[in-house]
Amino acid sequence: MKYPTLNLISGAFLIGAILIADSLTLMFCITIYLIILAVSSGRKFRILPNLILLITISFAHTLQPNGLVLFMIGNFPITLGALMIGAKKALLLISFIYASHYMMSSRPHIPGKLGNLLTLQFYYFEKLTTMYRSIEKKRPLMGAIDQLLISVEHISLSNEGEEKEERGITRKDIMHRIFHVLFIYLLLFMFATPMKEIVPFIALLP
């Protein structure tokens, strides 16, 4: 097994945890941990795009009022439940983005035609989310997107046929990945219903 494949497998387990998480606090903890993993793998973290994503998705869900009314904007209520649902979905999206960054940090190669297609999808997604800042003219938006796609295509073509030497994995690599996966699933266990009955404080968290 090669090092990129190890990242891919451990990342798949982490995505499984993201899909299972049903608590806002739990999703926040998982998102922070995935950001740390992505940054430690060489990816950059910019707080402003993530903050904008969190705010816009959260307030978009206020169009469907739910739960306690926090305040009113004219005759329109801003409710706590709607904000929490929106925040959870925003954190879900952010966690997926950084999980994909972590998985693609060493650009794994999945065997087979379907595997090649998935590898390309992950690759283009990673490049599109990291190269937008390098585009000089961001207006008009469609022109910026075209320029971004052309830049990614040129990079892909220039890398085509080049074989990047992939190092093997060590026992330390395996233990690190196991620790990351176990830590995330330990968080899931801590927020499970049986633990909430044992530790009432956890049940009070959103």
Which residues in 163-197 are b (16+ Cβ under 10 Å) and which e? Answer: eeeeeebeeebeeebeebbeebeebbeebeeeebe
List the beta strands (DSSP E) in 12-95: 69-73, 76-79
Owner of token pair 């950059």:
44
Lowest-confidence region among 77-91, 159-173, 179-193 = 159-173
Q: What is the bridge-based pairing of β-strands 69-73 and 76-79?
A: antiparallel
> Could you tell me the pLDDT band of residue 140, with boundaries at 50, 70 and 90?
low
63: Cβ–Cβ under 8 A, 6 or more apart, which residues?
Answer: 82
SS3 76: strand
pLDDT in the model for residue 12: 86
DSSP bridge partners of 2: 168
- Written as six digits, the tokens of 30 are 């998982």
For residue 90, pLDDT beyond 90: yes
> What is the rounded average pLDDT of the residues 81-110?
83
pLDDT in the model for residue 109: 59
Helix, strand counts (H, E) of the chain: 9, 2
Which residues in 9-37 are b (16+ Cβ under 10 Å) and which e? Answer: ebbeebbebbeebebbebbbbbbebbbeb
> Could you tell me the pLDDT band of residue 42, with boundaries at 50, 70 and 90?
confident
The answer to whether 116 and 84 are in contact (CB under 8 A) is no
For residue 163, pLDDT beyond 50: no
